Amino acid sequence: MTSTSSFLERKEWLEKQIAEADYVLIGAGAGLTTAAGIDYAGEDFRREFREWINRYGFTDLYSAGFYPFRTDEERWAYWCKHIWFGRYRTGALPLYQKLRKVVDGKDYFVITTNVDGQFEMAGFDMKRIFATQGDYCYFQPATGSPKELYHNREWVERVLPTIHDCSIPSELIPRTPDGQPVSMNLRCDDTFVEDHHWHQQAQRYRDFVLTASEKRLLLLEFGVGFNTPVIIRFPFEQMAAEFPDTTLVRFNRDFTQLSTSGVSSYVAFKEEVSLII
């Protein structure tokens, strides 16, 4: 099967690969959530963040996360809105729910650099999800110690209605239970907290790959570019090149090329994921 085959031929081939695979490993990047309907620079962003766009010149949600706000009240007003927009606003998106049904009954695992919790919300088994870069739903100590996380949904729901003029009341700035500053549990520097659950899932991922390496393994890679290719993109290519019965299927609108030689079973789809899955 090659990328020059007809769309219908490739779709039918993929359905057969999923049905016959002993193990399915899903690797998901930002492109999957974009395909599912959350565009960090699209119409929804421009509507919900119009006040911030006008005041600070924001162009997209990702780069806005690095803005040097003048006050903590401004910074946490923005992050309250950001967390709500990216994590709680939509609930489980249909494409993720559809993908879960695709692997129902299969021995699967998910590794993702996404921080939006969509796999969890769509009903994937939490023990089979390794979110390597964090999750919008957690705060952590700003210093990175202790290695603890704090759920933030209650804080978001309480603070969101208080946002005024791109700021929140000082008393609503989030803190740890003992009153210390917090930050988002998103990997951006060496303070990122890898707690017990993070390490547990990392080990489960390694165990899954080891077990699947000698079986019929299907790698489904969705929307993974070159921002952090060493987490999913390059390892998936290496598995496809080294494991004896492994097939790599790459869904990517812009970057379908291989970086690793020796991958014998590989198909790329540039079409929208929702048309194929």
Beta pairing, strands 182-186 & 134-141: antiparallel
Nearest CA-CA partner of 199 in 262, 276, 147, 150? 147
Question: Are 143 and 192 spatial neighbours (Cβ–Cβ below 8 Å)?
Answer: no
Amino acid at the residue 225? G
Query: Rounded to whole angstroms, what are the CA distances from 86 to 12, 41, 115, 118?
Result: 34, 12, 8, 10
Beta pairing, strands 266-269 & 246-251: parallel
pLDDT tens-digit profile of 176-208? 999 999 999 999 999 999 999 999 999 999 999
With H, G, I as helix, E, B as strand and everything else as coil, classify residue 26: strand
E strands present in 61-133: 107-112, 129-131
Amino acid at the residue 187? R
Tokens of 187: 């990997």
**Apex 223 CA angle, 222 and 229, nearest 5:** 100
Question: Are 250 and 256 spatial neighbours (Cβ–Cβ below 8 Å)?
Answer: yes
Rg for the chain (alpha carbons), in Å? Answer: 20
105: exposed, middle or buried (C-beta count within 10 Å: 0-12, 13-18, 19+)?
Answer: exposed
Round to whole Å and give the CA distance between 8 and 273: 14
Numbers of helices and strands, H then E, in the chain? 12, 9
Tokens of 71: 């006050």
**Element of type H or E holding 27:** strand 23-28
Amino acid at the residue 183? S
With H, G, I as helix, E, B as strand and everything else as coil, classify residue 81: helix
pLDDT tens-digit profile of 139-177? 999 999 999 999 999 999 999 999 999 999 999 999 999
Question: Are 256 and 268 spatial neighbours (Cβ–Cβ below 8 Å)?
Answer: yes
Q: What number of CA atoms fall less than 13 Å from residue 147's CA on the CB side? A: 8
Tens-binned pLDDT, residue by residue, of the chain (277 aa): 555 678 888 889 999 999 999 999 999 999 999 999 998 999 999 999 999 999 999 999 999 999 999 999 999 999 999 999 999 999 999 999 999 999 999 999 999 999 999 999 999 999 999 999 999 999 999 999 999 999 999 999 999 999 999 999 999 999 999 999 999 999 999 999 999 999 999 999 999 999 999 999 999 999 999 999 999 999 999 999 999 999 999 999 999 999 999 998 999 998 888 778 8
Round to whole Å and give the CA distance between 108 and 128: 7
